[in-house]
Amino acid sequence: MNSELTIAQIGVGYWGPNLLRNLVSNKQCHVKLAVDLSADRRDFVQSLYPDVKVSDDSEEVFSDPDIDAVIVSTPVKSHFDLSVKALEAGKHILVEKPMATTVNEVEEIGRLAEEKNLIAMAGHTFLYNPAVRSVKKIMDAGQLGDIRYIYSQRVNLGRIRSDVDALWNLAPHDISIVQYWLNEPIPISIKRTGMAYVQEGIEDVSFLNIEYPENILVNIHVSWLDPHKVRRMTVVGSEKMVVYDDLAENKVTVYDKGIDRMAVLGENMDFDQPEVSNFNHRSGHATVPVIKWEEPLKVEIEHFVDCVMGGAFCLTGVDHVKKVVTVLEQVSTGRHSLKLINSPNISSGLIH
């Protein structure tokens, strides 16, 4: 294989410029073509990167034999079709989240990628965030003890979208992080509560409750209608607790706090009485791990290149994506309260 990956990017809208910037700066990538329907976006690309050819026709990407890989950064509804066309043309893909909107579509992408020996990767960028990886190391080392529950807030008074609701827009990040932290478990049950206030049929706020094995509870709150921008996740363990705050200067803080149940003897030291419970509240020091910061998107692009050129295991490949999309799909079909432990496909990691 060549020492350089020739890449085309389809879609240079809201998130696309960040992808393009990191692709152009990666010495192993040669960005040959950028496609966007908007003349303004094509002019934007040309003004910054005159060596990158621009077009309004994605077919130029699929018909060009020099292009090895395609970055898909378009509205969600087009992800599946563009991914399939790219794979059928023999090109690796990195698709912005969500890769697709149904498990069947994700499986089809995975089938094509395997058949053609290609990489199909989703842009779950937070799994390449050094702070998220720091929390993962803390959890895997057992510093928190048994994981009891996780709750997250991803809210702001921000960008309203019409192609997806707030759940599909924001929650893929949190679901992806939780799956990563907990080593890809299969949920037992999922419940969603949401409401559409601004646009009919498009929920602006959702609360997602997930029960995982080993008595782990997860609550995810996403909203476009909140007075504050919050990007925070808290993990509560039996020994310690950790807070990941993506907007804070110190993004990870470990708290030596908890409640220990202690057995004590009854009054008057009567040894014939059964033991009664007492509770000890621990409140030790808070510690801030040292984290070597790198832009997550830069790390993501490097990982994609390494998967394509070096054969690395793809962290956000189809297997990971299926679990994330499963949760989202199950609560987006009118069945907002689901008990999933008896799913006939639970052994395969899929819930239908």
d(CA 240, CA 144): 4
CATH code matching the domain that covers 5-126+296-312, chosen among 3.30.310.50, 3.40.50.300, 3.40.50.720, 3.30.565.10 = 3.40.50.720
User: What confidence score (pLDDT) does residue 3 get?
Assistant: 81
User: What confidence score (pLDDT) does residue 273 get?
Assistant: 55
User: Mean per-residue pLDDT for 36-46?
Assistant: 97
Stronger pLDDT, 167 or 340, i.e. the higher one: 167
d(CA 126, CA 174): 9
CATH code matching the domain that covers 127-295+326-348, chosen among 3.30.360.10, 3.40.80.10, 2.40.30.10, 3.90.180.10 = 3.30.360.10
Give the least confident one: 14-18, 40-44, 333-337: 333-337
Torsion angle (degrees, nearest 10) of CA 316, 322, 328, 333: 160
How far are the Cα atoms of 130, 141, 330 from residue 245, in angstroms, in the given order?
Answer: 12, 20, 28
The verdict on whether omega for the bond into residue 98 sits within 30 degrees of 0, i.e. cis, is yes
User: Mean per-residue pLDDT for 102-108?
Assistant: 97
How far is C-alpha 96 from the geometric centre of its chain's CA atoms? 10
Complete edge-to-edge strand list for the sheet that includes strand 147-157: 276-287, 252-264, 241-245, 225-237, 147-157, 216-223, 205-212, 189-195, 337-339
Q: Over the stretch 75-91, which tens digit does the pLDDT of each residue have?
A: 999 999 999 999 999 99
Contact residues for 34 (Cβ-Cβ < 8 A; gap 6+): 8, 9, 12, 20, 42, 45, 49, 52, 53, 54, 55
* Strands of the chain, DSSP E: 5-10, 29-35, 53-55, 69-72, 92-96, 120-123, 147-157, 189-195, 205-212, 216-223, 225-237, 241-245, 252-264, 276-287, 337-339
Start-to-end CA distance of the chain, whole Å, equals: 39
- Decide if pLDDT at 98 tops 90: yes
Residues of the chain with CATH 3.40.50.720: 5-126+296-312
Give the least confident one: 30-39, 190-199, 206-215, 327-336: 327-336
Mean pLDDT taken over the chain: 90
User: What confidence score (pLDDT) does residue 2 get?
Assistant: 67
Residue whose C-alpha is closest to residue 110's, from 128, 90, 84: 84
The structure tokens listed for 183 are: 């080593």
User: What confidence score (pLDDT) does residue 340 get?
Assistant: 52
Q: Over the stretch 204-249, which tens digit does the pLDDT of each residue have?
A: 999 999 999 999 999 999 999 999 999 999 999 999 999 999 999 9
User: What confidence score (pLDDT) does residue 275 get?
Assistant: 54
Stronger pLDDT, 346 or 17, i.e. the higher one: 17
The structure tokens listed for 15 are: 């998130």
User: What confidence score (pLDDT) does residue 221 get?
Assistant: 98
Q: Over the stretch 296-342, which tens digit does the pLDDT of each residue have?
A: 999 999 999 999 999 999 999 999 999 999 999 998 865 445 555 44
User: What confidence score (pLDDT) does residue 338 get?
Assistant: 53
% of the chain surpassing 70 pLDDT: 89
User: What confidence score (pLDDT) does residue 55 get?
Assistant: 98
Specify burial of residue 59 (Cβ count, 10 A radius: 0-12, 13-18, 19+).
exposed
d(CA 103, CA 203): 21
% of the chain surpassing 90 pLDDT: 82
Number of Cβ atoms within 10 Å of the Cβ of 14: 12
Residues of the chain with CATH 3.30.360.10: 127-295+326-348
d(CA 173, CA 220): 10
- Decide if pLDDT at 350 tops 50: no
In DSSP terms, which residues pair with 177 in a beta bridge?
Answer: none
Contact residues for 13 (Cβ-Cβ < 8 A; gap 6+): 36, 38, 41, 73, 74
Instruction: At 235, give phi and psi (nearest 5°).
Output: -115, 120
Q: How confident is the model at residue 347 (pLDDT cuts 50, 70, 90)?
A: very low
d(CA 265, CA 277): 9
User: What confidence score (pLDDT) does residue 29 get?
Assistant: 98
Q: Over the stretch 250-271, which tens digit does the pLDDT of each residue have?
A: 999 999 987 777 655 555 555 5
Q: What pTM was estimated for this model as a whole? A: 0.88
The structure tokens listed for 283 are: 């409140």
